[in-house]
Amino acid sequence: MQNEERVFEAFLRQYREIFRVMINAAEQITGQYSVSFEQYLLLKQIHEQRNITLSELADSTHTTRSAAARKLRALLLDGFVEQEAKMDDRRVKYLRLTTKGVTVEHDIRQAFLQSARTWEEIPANMKPANINDFFTQYQQNIAIWDRTRPKFRRPVLHAKRKALGGE
C-alpha cells in the first residue's frame, strides 16, 4: 500500500511538471501570433467547422458560452474572425475565419507540428509496473526538449513591419 502511494505521488509530481512545460510551450507558440492557446483552440474549431455559432463553439470546446464569448471577442477585434448573421434569423451569427485568421491558424498548426516532431510516441502496451519509470524518463525527455526546442520568431509582427514598408 505504501509503495502504491509513493508511485501515485511520483506520478502526480511528474504529471504536473509535464503539463506545466507543455502549456508554457503552447503559450510560447501561440503568443508569437498574439493569441492565447485557448484562443487558438477556438480558431482551430472555427476553421474545422464552417458556419459554427457561438453556442456550438462553446459546446465543441467544452467551455461555457460566456468564456467562449470572452475569448472570441479578442479574435473578432484582432480581425482573425468575422460574424455573419443568418438570413432568416438575424439573432444567429455564424463565425468564420478571415483571411488573416486562416493564415494564423495554419501557421500556428505548422509550429505545433514542428514542435511535435521532436516527441517520441508513448508506448501503447505499457505494463502498470513500468508506468513510474516511463514517466520519470518522459519527464527527463520533456526537460531536454524544453531546453532544446526551436524558438519561434514573431511572424505577425514581421508581417506588419513588412506591410508598413519596414523591410
Q: At what angle do helices 99-116 and 37-48 cross, to 10 degrees?
A: 110
Structure confidence at residue 167 as a pLDDT band (50, 70, 90):
very low
Take residue 165 and report the three cell numbers written for it: 514598408
In a domain, 76, yes or no: yes
Which cell goes with 41?
Answer: 483552440
pLDDT digits (tens, 9 = 90+) for 84-129: 887 887 778 889 999 999 999 999 999 888 877 665 555 666 666 6
Spell 112-122 as b/e; 16+ CB within 10 A means b.
Answer: beebeeeeeee
Q: Looking at the domain assignment, is residue 83 inside a domain?
A: yes
Q: Global pTM? A: 0.67
Is 165 within a domain? no
Total domain count for the chain?
1
Is 166 contained in some domain? no
CB 94 within 8 A of CB 84: yes
Per the structure, the complete domain to which residue 109 belongs is given by 2-120+127-160
Domain assignment of residue 145, yes or no: yes
Query: Is 100 among the domain residues?
Result: yes
167 lies in some domain: no
Q: What is the CATH number of the domain that holds 155?
A: 1.10.10.10
Q: What proportion of the chain, given as a percentage, has pLDDT over 90?
A: 29
Residue 58 lies in a domain: yes
